[in-house]
Amino acid sequence: MTVPVFQNFVHGQFLANQSGEKFAVKNPATDQVIYEVEVADEVVQKAAIESAKQGFQVWSAMSPIERSRILHKAVALLRERNDQLAEIEVLDTGKPWQEAECVDVQTGADVIEYFAGLAPTQVGSQQPVGNDFFYTRKEPLGICAGIGAWNYPLQIACWKSGPALAAGNVLIFKPSEETPLGAIKLAEIFIEAGVPAGVFNVVQGAAKVGQWLTTHPQIEKVSFTGEVGTGKKVMQSAASNLKEVTMELGGKSPLIVFEDADLSQAVSAAMLGNFYTQGEVCTNCTRVFVHRSVYQPFLDELLERTEHNIIAGDPMDPSVNLGALISKQHQQLVLDYIEKGIAEGAKVLTGGRALSPESAPNGYFVAPTIFVDCDDDMTIVKEEIFGPVMSVLVFDDEQEVIERANNTHLGLAAGVFTQNIKRAHRVIHQLAAGICWINSYGNSPAEMPVGGYKQSGIGRENGIETLDQYTQTKSVYVGMSDIESPF
């Protein structure tokens, strides 16, 4: 069966490569190849840089309000095409339609809308120095690169392009090889909205293309989303010309459920923070610490809801709420972690195996899995699994749980459930994590900065401060009096 072939998107149009190299993309729910994509070879790479240079000349010369107006048009198109784009995300990632339809495109559009609104608010300063004065300008960095993960492909492309473009930069974006189509659709939308050619180019391929971006001397910044190990490599390469970096990396986040918590709410948070997007969410609370006095009732409700309310199957079926993992290889990795958990002494309360639902028998599904009898040194409690695997741990006191929650090299997110307002803030303030929730889990509005502590990241996405990370300050000193020179 022949499938469509997508080329790279450079300077407002599709561009054929010369090497003929391409890769196939499979639907994780069916194991079928759905399309192919050409790899960005040297010809495409060169064209992408030349185009970005031209795009930067035009885009950075526009007034912020003009840029804002154009980006708002792109936002309207994204929302208009929500269903078509959401379907692409479902077919590429295997995630349920019921999520993609209301989250992926909309949270991407929200962020572009937010930064489009902020674009004209960027101001410099002016300060007198005796009779002289200086002023500052917020200038864009130039050509930036974005490298995305496969779990929220379109959303990640929007979260990186929103602030980059609003601040007057241009972006060359490389999506994950697993999920390359959403970024192309975004590129088409930008062009349709009036974003000049070259401002958002999409190059395709795996690590090699990523490496090219991170070492290219004319790229000023890399915004990366992916694993900690890859992030370290990207930072090393980016050091070649001292590029700025933003790193959005992995996590092993704690959720702490105190004895006075609303238990049903805490169970909802634990399930959302482990099983949403079949567990492939960076902020997931995969270490659920429950106070000994409520441990059993918490587990009872968690088990009952996990076994009765989760429906795995064809992700396009609106009733399905557990999709397929991204690839067969990743499914195996998650199953290997489960085996390791069992071998190290943890007990599977439910799940712990692959699934083959009737409506998607060839998909890469893993049953929602809950481990109990866990201790802090187990591999499943220490390493990011990135699948629907939750470890439940027991604790007795506040200081103990804070120390245990912080006992990791990662620090992306954290959550606390308690009715005690003082304790909620006291505990959250002591947790080493960049994204925290009290009596909630997972919400990430465009206005809220997100990013990791420790090895979970550098810099932030979303929120006002992100715009600053896409600008540099130029100071201009203006002499109003004669120069006093000893020469």
Per CB under 6 A, residues contacting ligand NAP are 147-151, 174, 176-178, 206-207, 210-211, 214, 225-227, 230, 233-234, 248-251, 282, 384, 386, 412, 452, 457
CB 75 within 8 A of CB 113: yes
Measured distance CA(72)–CA(66) in Å, rounded: 10
Q: Rounded to the nearest whole angstrom, what is the least distance from the CB of residue 453 to ligand NAP in the complex? A: 11
Residue bearing tokens 């028998």 = 361
Question: What does the DSSP assignment read for 420-485?
Answer: -HHHHHHHHHHS--SEEEES--S---TTS-B--EETTEES-BSSHHHHHTTEEEEEEEE--S----
CB 202 within 8 A of CB 184: yes
Q: Rounded to the nearest whole angstrom, what is the least distance from the CB of residue 401 to ligand NAP in the complex? A: 23
Measured distance CA(195)–CA(473) in Å, rounded: 25
Measured distance CA(279)–CA(368) in Å, rounded: 8
Question: How would you classify residue 482: left for phi > 0, otherwise alpha for psi between -120 and 50, otherwise beta?
Answer: beta
Q: Which is nearer to ligand NAP, 153 or 341 (CB)?
A: 153
Catalytic positions: 160, 248, 282, 461
What six digits make up the tokens of 223?
């915004």
Q: Rounded to the nearest whole angstrom, what is the least distance from the CB of residue 393 to ligand NAP in the complex? A: 20
CB 52 within 8 A of CB 10: no
Measured distance CA(400)–CA(393) in Å, rounded: 12
Q: Rounded to the nearest whole angstrom, what is the least distance from the CB of residue 180 to ligand NAP in the complex? A: 8
Q: Which is nearer to ligand NAP, 213 or 370 (CB)?
A: 213
Q: Rounded to the nearest whole angstrom, what is the least distance from the CB of residue 146 to ligand NAP in the complex? A: 9
Q: Rounded to the nearest whole angstrom, what is the least distance from the CB of residue 282 to ligand NAP in the complex? A: 3
Q: Which is nearer to ligand NAP, 277 or 369 (CB)?
A: 277
Q: Which is nearer to ligand NAP, 283 or 369 (CB)?
A: 283
Question: How would you classify residue 348: left for phi > 0, otherwise alpha for psi between -120 and 50, otherwise beta?
Answer: beta
Phi, psi angles (nearest 5°) of residue 57: -55, -45
Task: Give the residue closest to ligand NAP by C-beta.
Answer: 210
Measured distance CA(220)–CA(313) in Å, rounded: 44
Q: Which is nearer to ligand NAP, 138 or 221 (CB)?
A: 221
What six digits make up the tokens of 440?
């909630």
Q: Which is nearer to ligand NAP, 143 or 267 (CB)?
A: 143
CB 185 within 8 A of CB 85: yes
Of how many residues is the chain composed?
Answer: 487
